[in-house]
Amino acid sequence: MAKKQKSKKSKKKKYVYFFSKGQSDGNSKMKNLLGGKGANLAEMCRIGLPVPPGFTITTEVCKLYYDSNKKYPSGLKEEAELNIKKLEKATGKKFGDNKDPLLVSVRSGAAVSMPGMMDTILNLGLTDEAVRGLADLTKNPRFAWDSYRRFIQMFGDVAMGVEHHAFEHELEEVKRRIAKDKNIPNAESLVQEALNKLVPDTALTVEDLKELVSRYEEVYKKHTGSPFPQKPREQLWHAIDAVFGSWNNDRAIAYREIHNIKGLLGTAVNVQTMVFGNMGQDSGTGVGFTRDPSTGDDDLYGEFLMNAQGEDVVAGIRTPLHIDEMKKSDKKMYDQLATIRKKLEKHYKEMQDFEFTIEKGKLYMLQTRNGKRTAHAAVKIAVDMVTKEKLISKEEAVLRIQPEQIDQLLHPMFDAEEEKKGDIFSRAGLPASPGAAVGQAVFSAKDAEQWKESGKEVILCRLETSPEDIRGMHAANGILTARGGMTSHAAVVARGWGKCCVAGAGDITMELAKKQMRCGNQTINEGDWISLNGSKGIVYLGKIKTIPPKMTGPFGIIMKWADDIRKLGVRTNADTPKDTAVAIEFGAEGIGLCRTEHMFFEGERILSFRKMILVAQKVKNLRDAIAAETDSKKRKALEEELKAPLTQYLKALEELLPLQRKDFEGIFEALKGYPCTIRFLDPPLHEFLPHDEKGQKELADAMGIDFDYVKNTVDSLHEFNPMLGHRGCRLGITYPEISEMQARAIIEAALNVKAKGIKVCPEIMIPLVGNVKELQLQKEAVLDAIEKIKKERKLKKLPFEVKIGTMIEVPRAAITADEVARTAEFFSFGTNDLTQMSCGFSRDDAGKFLADYLNLGIYDHDPFQSLDANGVGKLVRMATELGKKTRKDLKLGICGEHGGDPQSVRFCHEVGLTYVSCSPFRVPIARLSAAQAVLEEKGAKKGKKKK
């Protein structure tokens, strides 16, 4: 430790980096040290662009500042002073000179752009004396005094915490005085807006501005207890303090939390010579993009204002002009900008977003950075840069697209302008399934169905949804729930369908009985139009215009590139031919999870299914009694008693068989030969039964049985922790006939489709296995069913391969994966449940504390959204290794929600899974992420080699 400190001391650290055209201490690769802004200013200087000179104090200083209780490291001030000298030399002006003062801006700038921090102080260096010098020098006293009063306000507000409002008040007072002087009526009582219209800032004379300066100086003194500092160096260090201080203000902390920004040292401080866009009609300011950020078109794009400073553009007082206007008004300047645009792109090989200022006809670059763009533009730009400009490789293009962003390309979206004007009902919901949806509010699944049937467009609004709501959910354009998280039933089902969903909008009170919902003082009644933004979690009152998704050319190209690169297969989670077709369209290479339970909710099936459940209970109870009975006579009597319900039970299953077989036929056909992993019945049986007396009575009537029997059966099926209850393969073990029926439906469907000349690859997946013996028993049941079918159809062997495997979702299965792999021909990691059981989180309940957990940094991410690599991931890794030890060619997939999460896809690649499976609308995301995982791995290996 002591040694390390010594070596630190011996090799003096550099804290300040100078930049000036053609001469820079730093470069664009030093973002961590100089911040994004500082690094790019240095880089622009290096490539000869016109940048006002300045210097950057490093982010390391920020860290040291906090580490040592807000003290600067020794030597910093001296180093800064040296840089001020260099700046004076570069500009030929003096800092603190009263005749020709060197004025600077002070800006924060971390490695990641962070709106929460202190932004900018301009005109620093002006004093009561220097303002006069500036007035003389520029022969523009109005400009000088206006600059000074702006500086005082900014400095007071931003650096010293004087309330903005206090300065505004003085400006208002002066304006009222002017209004009175001008005999404007009611000058005393005019509302501020009217006053500003009648007396704009531009109406202030030099004398008015002088008065304002002295009033501002009074405000400053009153609020800070000290007079406005008259030494530029004092001003400078106050400003630097403020920048560093803003690194840990609440807004900045909140921003970093919300955007999950971690591991930064701190912010840098940029001190840069001022240039002025407000020195007359030959001056101006603007922002530009090297390409159109919404379309991706290869054109200079931007806005500018003449005779204005940057803050005027931001304040929105004057409307800026489109950059094309400049082509007409100042062709030379436009051409200069166009040349710079080309130079920037050629150098950065990325679309840039830059700021510029024109001072008396001379162009200065103030900032450049990678530009934000729509998903559409991102894809087009990346593809163009490969195919047209040949700036980057295909691999780089693939790496440039944020996987999450392309989700936008797959769903209808709101027209952005229309949405801005939207009337918000609630913004507390989660962006559970992206896209936009518009419809009339309904409050029950049944209503949703009926309204839809009568030709209406509806949004289904529920406290939460359950499998019983499935048809209503399907009928709705969008789903809104007041409870539940990103992996609640509504969210999972909606994402599966690519249907818009806002979930867990906790501020909404659902009054389902009244068919209305309330939020704050607003109420929405049945039939009211509402609009959901499932990408943001916002609910609007009324209708907002939507724009349909486009599968544009470049998107297809980049996906093709991704496919060429990736090693992971990408499958989809789909339960219907329609979803399957959508997913195949999106590039899925098969189904990784076909849930069979949703199928039972359609149409009349639910009644057959309920009938089966009710009689199955009777059968099970009698079987248990028989097993326990040692008296052979009593046993025989019980066996006699069993006969009737057993017949009913088998008949109910027979009724379900053709329905389910038809479902599988549709899916096999839609798959066109791709493999299909079909999971046996998974949820506990009580989920299929009505829990309210009314529903139970209806069911009893429909079946012609006793209400009490229905009620008692539902009661006896009740579970304290259904998540850990009688579900998954446990159902198949206690009701082997259900498994047999499902196996038969799958195999018969496959035979029928195969007979049409379509290739079929059924894979049967046994859920919730914790012990290899469960799998053995269920595998035997499947093989028995196959043998029976072969006998019936007189087949020597099936004309296709059937794989039998399991989900790994119970921790015990992961730990004993070597044993499980003896029987399982494939594993599919069910990481939703594996996360629930490994972490001990019920995903339906975890909302109560998970937010705290993320805030406190206990988990970096919601483990239900992004696989908990350090915990749950260890089990996945362990199961993979153990499984492969037993069975070298074990096929390994993942079919939890994580299969569509970019970070989790990367993990799956790294662990060496065979494929990921996700909802159809996330298939392109998974394809891209899988490709990026390969490229990042290569990059990491290269990096290691270099070391």
Residues near its own copies (CB under 8 A) are 250-251, 254, 624, 627, 630, 632, 719-726, 730, 733-734, 768, 770-771, 773-774, 777, 809-812, 815-816, 833, 836-842, 844-846, 848-849, 851-853, 855-859, 868, 870-872, 874-875, 878
Active-site residue 500, yes or no? no
Q: Shortest Cβ distance from residue 335 to its own copies (Å)? A: 44
User: CA-to-CA distance for 365 and 340, rounded, in angstroms?
Assistant: 9
User: CA-to-CA distance for 299 and 292, rounded, in angstroms?
Assistant: 6
Q: Shortest Cβ distance from residue 727 to its own copies (Å)? A: 9
Percentages helix, strand, coil for the chain (3-state, rounded to 5) are 50, 15, 30
Q: What is the 3-state secondary structure (H, E, C) of 918-933?
A: ECHHHHHHHHHHHHHH
Q: Shortest Cβ distance from residue 854 to its own copies (Å)? A: 11
Nearer to its own copies, 801 or 845 (CB): 845
Q: Shortest Cβ distance from residue 110 to its own copies (Å)? A: 19
> Among residues 522, 486, 518, which one has the least CA distance to residue 501?
486
CA dihedral 749, 750, 751, 752 (to 10 degrees): 50
Does residue 303 sit in helix, strand or coil?
A: strand
Q: Shortest Cβ distance from residue 632 to its own copies (Å)? A: 8
HSE, side-chain direction, 13 A CA sphere, residue 369: 17
Q: Shortest Cβ distance from residue 719 to its own copies (Å)? A: 4
Nearer to its own copies, 246 or 278 (CB): 246
Q: Shortest Cβ distance from residue 627 to its own copies (Å)? A: 7
Give backbone dihedrals phi and psi of 591, rounded to 5 degrees, phi first.
-105, 130
Helices (H), 811-860: 811-815, 817-823, 831-839, 847-855
User: CA-to-CA distance for 243 and 248, rounded, in angstroms?
Assistant: 10
Nearer to its own copies, 409 or 769 (CB): 769
User: CA-to-CA distance for 367 and 608, rounded, in angstroms?
Assistant: 68
Q: Shortest Cβ distance from residue 841 to its own copies (Å)? A: 6
User: CA-to-CA distance for 424 and 714, rounded, in angstroms?
Assistant: 41
Q: Shortest Cβ distance from residue 830 to its own copies (Å)? A: 11
> Among residues 315, 313, 289, 428, which one has the least CA distance to residue 370?
289
Which candidate in 62, 594, 761, 895 is catalytic? 895
Which candidate in 489, 598, 898, 909 is catalytic? 489
User: CA-to-CA distance for 75 and 60, rounded, in angstroms?
Assistant: 14
User: CA-to-CA distance for 7 and 10, rounded, in angstroms?
Assistant: 5
DSSP 523-554: EEETT-EEEEETTTTEEEES---EE-----HH
Q: Shortest Cβ distance from residue 848 to its own copies (Å)? A: 5
Cα three-residue angle 659-784-689, rounded to 5 degrees = 40
User: CA-to-CA distance for 897 and 18, rounded, in angstroms?
Assistant: 49
Nearer to its own copies, 73 or 722 (CB): 722
Nearer to its own copies, 273 or 838 (CB): 838
Q: Where does residue 55 fall: left (phi above 0), alpha (psi -120 to 50 degrees), or beta otherwise? A: beta
CB 502 within 8 A of CB 519: no
Q: Shortest Cβ distance from residue 447 to its own copies (Å)? A: 24
CB 86 within 8 A of CB 18: yes
**What is the biggest distance separating any 2 CA atoms in the chain, rounded to whole angstroms?**
119
Does residue 254 sit in helix, strand or coil?
A: helix
Beta strand 516-519 with 509-511 is antiparallel
Nearer to its own copies, 729 or 760 (CB): 729
Nearer to its own copies, 627 or 940 (CB): 627
For residue 493 the two structure tokens come to 């089902």
Q: Which whole-number Å values give the CA distances from 229 to 103, 142, 238, 346, in the listed order?
A: 15, 22, 10, 45
HSE, side-chain direction, 13 A CA sphere, residue 259: 13
Q: Shortest Cβ distance from residue 775 to its own copies (Å)? A: 10
Question: Which residue type does 616 have?
Answer: A
Sign of CA dihedral 82, 83, 87, 89: positive
Nearer to its own copies, 98 or 771 (CB): 771
Nearer to its own copies, 288 or 767 (CB): 767
Question: Which residue type does 46 have?
Answer: R
Q: CB 132: neighbour CB atoms within 10 A? A: 16
Nearer to its own copies, 491 or 846 (CB): 846
Question: Which residue type does 726 have?
Answer: H
Nearer to its own copies, 151 or 841 (CB): 841
> Among residues 657, 712, 720, 706, which one has the least CA distance to residue 689?
712
Q: Shortest Cβ distance from residue 933 to its own copies (Å)? A: 23
Active-site residue 598, yes or no? no
User: CA-to-CA distance for 542 and 522, rounded, in angstroms?
Assistant: 13
Nearer to its own copies, 622 or 659 (CB): 622
For residue 468 the two structure tokens come to 């019983």
Nearer to its own copies, 209 or 685 (CB): 685
Beta strand 352-359 with 120-124 is unpaired
Active site residues: 489, 895
